[in-house]
Structure 1
Amino acid sequence: MTELILGVITFLTSTIAGVVGIGGGMMLIVILPSFLPLNALIPIHGLTQVSSNLSRAIFGYKDVKVEVIPKFLLGSLLGIGFFMGILSFISLEYVPLFIGIYILLSLWSAKFNEKIKRYENYYLAGFFQTGLSMVVGATGPLTMTLLLKDYKDKNVVVATGAALMSISHILKVFVFMYFGFVFFDYIGVIVAMIIGAVVGSWTGTQLRDKIDGKKFVIILKVLLSALAINVIIGVFI
């Protein structure tokens, strides 16, 4: 019964992510503690997000901007290595606060964008998104915010964002395997969630065509802002 419930929930969250490119994974990680032990939470969420994002990128492969992938991948590898090395020495308690503030300023402040533009690139996005994804649940919006500035086509933003988030989650899964997490112990739940994620990605990709490009940008900006505010509030609660 748990497998069926999680499969349906993953389908719904993956469909949302398929339409607007983000939000599904964050909704899922809020729901999972009711069904899984805490030590299994991030590894299983990460593996499910690999299937959700990778399938979304495959369904929209024609819209993926391949030129940004090597930059993001290099940044991601450096980020994983760096944060694995320092995790035991520093407190990351306030990292979500800075991520939330950055996203809000980046989305709504022209002056901030003018000043930050020279420092924004896919190397840094990969470094922070992937490195911090091991401990912070809200790193996906970092890349989506950058893609929304660089590309106006909704399909390009969603498909490329999915490809980049796939890299983050794949590397994260390898890290958990390295540390000895046994995914096979949860094979029933994982299979159900992967099926839900892939079918949800396909459904979301079909529904995305029904949304006008200008409306899509507004919806994505509002959703990113809501996620950022939620992350900031979470630091203080």
Structure 2
Amino acid sequence: MNELFLGIISFLTSTIAGIVGIGGGMMLIAILPSFLPLNALIPVHGLTQMSSNLSRAIFGYKDIQFEVIPKFLIGSFIGIGLFATILNFISLNYVPLFIGVYILLSLWSAKFNEKIKKYENYYIAGFFQTGFSIVVGATGPLTMTLLFKDYANKEKVLATSAALMSITHILKVFVFIYFGFVFFDYMGIIIAMIIGAVTGSWVATRLRDKIDGKKFFLILKVLLTVLAFHIIVKVFI
């Protein structure tokens, strides 16, 4: 039953991400703590998001701005190497707390987003986006602001963001394999979520121009806020 439900959730969150560019990964990482043990939370989320972003990048490959990828990739390799060491010093009991606080700051703190904007190059964006993803899972907004500044075309922003997030999640999955996480133990859930994610990406490419992105994002922002508070409260109860 969990497989079917999480497959549907993965479809919905992937569709959301494909339409508005961000939010799907955050929503998924906010829901997963109710269904997965803490040690599986970030790895399973990462593999699902890898399929979601990679499929979205493939569907929109003609709009990817490939010139930014080498810079982002270099930063990502450095970031994943350094931040991987953090896993040995952080109690997994507090991972949902990191996730909830990160979501709230990303959505509502102008100062937090201003600090992020200071690191406006793809080397540093790759370093922080991929590095932080090991701990908080969903870090797509870190490069979205930079892409919107560099490219006025929405399709270019969404396709390139998907490509960059694919790099982040691919590297993250390899890190968790290196640390011994056994993805096979959750194969049923993973397959259902990957099918949902890829299908959601496909649907999003056909709905993107038919939905008012501003109204949709407002609803998404409120929903994400509720979910963030929910997982923060669960840490202390």
In structure 2, the residue matched to 1:148 is: 148
Q: Which amino acid aligns with 2:40?
A: A
**1:88 positional shift:** 4.0
Q: Give a deviation string over 1:133-172, Cα, whole Å, max 9, x none.
A: 1112342111112112221211111111111011111101
Q: Give a deviation string over 1:160-216, Cα, whole Å, max 9, x none.
A: 1111011111101000100111111111111111110000000011111224xxx64
In structure 2, the residue matched to 1:131 is: 131
Distance 1:87 1:57, change over 3 A: same
Give 5+ residue unaligned stretches, structure 1.
Answer: none
**1:225 positional shift:** 9.7
Give 5+ residue unaligned stretches, structure 2.
Answer: none
More deviation, 28-37/157-166: 28-37
More deviation, 141-150/196-205: 141-150
More deviation, 60-69/130-139: 130-139
In structure 2, the residue matched to 1:105 is: 110
In structure 1, the residue matched to 2:22 is: 22
Q: Partner of 1:135: helix, strand, or coil? A: helix
Q: Partner of 1:39: helix, strand, or coil? A: helix
Tell me how many residue pairs correspond in the alignment. 229
State the TM-score, normalized to the length of structure 2: 0.81
In structure 2, the residue matched to 1:62 is: 62
How do residues 63-212 of structure 1 correspond to structure 2 at under 5 angstroms?
63-88=63-88, 104-105=109-110, 119-211=119-211
Identity of aligned residues (%): 67
- Say whether the 8 Å CA contact 2:30–2:227 is kept in structure 1: no
Take 1:138 and 1:230, find their aligned partners in 2: how far apart are those partners?
14
- Say whether the 8 Å CA contact 2:45–2:137 is kept in structure 1: no
Take 1:8 and 1:140, find their aligned partners in 2: how far apart are those partners?
21
Distance 1:77 1:220, change over 3 A: farther
**1:29 positional shift:** 1.4
Take 2:70 and 2:37, find their aligned partners in 1: how far apart are those partners?
35
Take 1:24 and 1:231, find their aligned partners in 2: how far apart are those partners?
13
Q: Give a deviation string over 1:21-48, Cα, whole Å, max 9, x none.
A: 1111111112112222221111111100
Distance 1:122 1:128, change over 3 A: same
Q: Give a deviation string over 1:91-147, Cα, whole Å, max 9, x none.
A: 999987689657753899xxx69xx66x41011010001011111234211111211
Matched, 1:11 2:16: no
More deviation, 184-193/172-181: 184-193
Q: Partner of 2:175: helix, strand, or coil? A: helix
Distance 1:122 1:48, change over 3 A: same
Distance 1:34 1:229, change over 3 A: closer
In structure 1, the residue matched to 2:35 is: 35
- Say whether the 8 Å CA contact 1:64–1:160 is kept in structure 2: yes
